Chains A and B, each alone.
Chain A
Amino acid sequence: MRQVIYSIIKKTDSSDNNINKLYDYFICLVAFVSIIPLMFKRELSYFLLIDKVTVYILFADYVFRWMTYDMKLKKGNLSFIIYPVTPYALIDLLSLLPSLGMVNQSFRVLRMLRIFKILSYSKSFNYILHAFEKEKNTLYSVLVLALGYIFVSALIMFSYEPDTFSDFFAALYWATTALTTVGYGDVYPKTDIGRLISMISSLFGIAVIALPAGIITASFVDEINEEKEEAAANRDNNDGSDKGEPVIDRIVEKRMEADKDE
C-alpha cells in the first residue's frame, strides 16, 4: 500500500506516469489556491471554505510523505524520525499550523510558506538551494563581514553625530539602509564629517554587500552547467552507443582539474 502511495506522491521525473504528474499539478494548485485569501483584506465566507478544504488536502499530503519517507531516504525506520525535521516538512507543518488552530491568528501569514510547496517542484529553486548549500561557508564568512561592517559604520556615525540618531538602533538602521543602497532618507548625516563618513562607508559597503550576490550567481550557473553536462552524458549513454563515454570522461577530467585547482 505504501508503495502505491509513494508512486503517486513522489516528485515527477521524466520516467513517471501521468497520475504522478497530475498529483504534482494538483498539489501545486491547492497550495496556490490556499494562499489566495491572504491577498484580500476582508475575510469572506468562501475564504474560510477554501482554507478548510485546502488544509485537509495539504495535511493529507504531509501525512503521505511522512509515511513513505523511508522509500525516498532508504534509511529504514530512522527515516520516519528524520522526516519531521527536514526543511520542507518543517515548512509544510509551519504553514499548516494557523489553519489547525495551533498558533494565534496573527501568525496567519505563516500560511504564505505554502508557496514553498510550489517552489519545491521548481528545478531553478532547487539549483539555488544547492548553490546556497555548496557555498554556505563562504556565505557565512561574508555575512559576518557584512554585519561587522554595518556595526562599525553605525558605531562611528553614532559617536560623531549622537544628536542625529535617537539611539544606537537608529544608527544601525541608517547603516543598513545606506549600505544596502535602499536609503529611505528618513535618517541622514547632518554634519560634514558625518557626510564624509557616510560617503566612505557607502563606497566600501557596496562591495561588501554585493559579494553574496556574485557568489550565489556563480554557484547557480555552475549548478545549471553541471546539470546540462550530466543530461548530455545520460542522453549519449541512452543512445546505446559508446558516444557517452567521452562525455563522462570529459566531466570526470574537468572535475578532477577543478579539485586540483582547489
Chain B
Amino acid sequence: MNNKWRYFIVMLLGVVMNEGLSNLAENYPVWLDVTGTAMVALVLEPAAGLIVGLINNFYIALFEYGQTTLIYYCVSAAVAVIAGNVVRNREGKITVKGVLFAIVLVIIVSTILSSALTIWQSGGISNAAFEQVKFNSFVAKGMHPYMACILTTLIVKIYDTIATAVIVGIVYIILPKKLKYDLQ
C-alpha cells in the first residue's frame, strides 16, 4: 500500500474514532476524545496525531462547545506528543514500561492543562455535565472551587486515560499490518 494512502486511512480512522467514541461516551464520566489522536500518533508519528487532534478540536469547537474550546487543543497535542514519543523504546518497540509511563504522564499533563484552562476561562466550572456534578459535590463539601476543579479533572482524566489506553491497545492489535507498518 502506498504510504500516502496508509497515512490517509489511519488518520481518517483516528478522526472517526475521536468523534464516534466521544459521542458514545456522552453519558459516562469519560471524554474518549483523544483515542484517535493517540492511536494515530502511536501508529504513524506525533505530527499526524497533532493534525488529527486539530481536526477533532475544530469539530468540537464548531458543533459542540464553541470556539472558546479551541484552546483545549493543547491537551490533544500533549497526548499526541506523549503517545508518539514515550510509548515506544529507542528500538521502536512498544513496551509495558513505556505504556505505563505514558499513561501516568498523560494523566498528570492533561490534568494540569485542562484544569488550568478551565480555571482561567470560567473560574473552574466545566462545560461537561458529569464534571459539573462532581465539581458541585466537592464545592458543597466546602472545597475551594479551584481545588474542586483540579480534583474533578484528575478523577475524570484517570478514568479517561485508562479507557483510552485500553481502546488504543485493542485497535492497535486488530489493525491490519499494512496499515500498521510502512511495508514498502
Q: A interface vs B, CB < 8 Å?
A: 1-2, 5, 51-52, 55-56, 59-60, 63, 67, 99-102
Query: With A1-B7, A5-B47, A63-B73 given, is the CB distance from A100 to B68 under 8 Å?
Result: yes
Interface centre among B48, B66, B67 (most CB of A within 10 A): B67
- Which residue on chain A has the smallest CB distance to residue B57? A59
Can you give 16 A-B contacts (C-beta < 8 A)? A1-B48, A1-B51, A52-B67, A55-B70, A56-B61, A60-B58, A63-B73, A99-B67, A100-B67, A100-B68, A100-B70, A101-B66, A101-B67, A101-B68, A101-B121, A102-B71
CA distance A59 to B76 in the complex (A): 14
Q: Report chain B residues within 8 Å CB of A99.
A: 67
CA distance A67 to B120 in the complex (A): 25
Query: With A1-B7, A1-B48 given, is the CB distance from A60 to B54 under 8 Å?
Result: yes
The distance from the CB of B3 to the nearest CB of chain A, in whole angstroms, is 10
Q: Which of B2-47 contact A (CB under 8 A)?
A: 7, 44-45, 47
The distance from the CB of A254 to the nearest CB of chain B, in whole angstroms, is 45
CA distance A36 to B51 in the complex (A): 29
Which of under 10, 10 to 19, 20 to 34, or 35 or more describes the interface residues of B? Answer: 20 to 34
Query: With A52-B67, A56-B61, A100-B68 given, is the CB distance from A67 to B121 under 8 Å?
Result: no
Convert B69-105 into 0s and 1s, putting 1 for each residue whose CB lies closer than 8 angstroms to a CB of A. Answer: 0110100010000000000000000000000000000
Query: With A1-B7, A102-B120 given, is the CB distance from A63 to B77 under 8 Å?
Result: yes
The distance from the CB of B73 to the nearest CB of chain A, in whole angstroms, is 7
The distance from the CB of A204 to the nearest CB of chain B, in whole angstroms, is 49
Q: Is B50 an interface residue (CB 8 A)?
A: yes
Query: With A52-B67, A99-B67 given, is the CB distance from A59 to B73 under 8 Å?
Result: yes
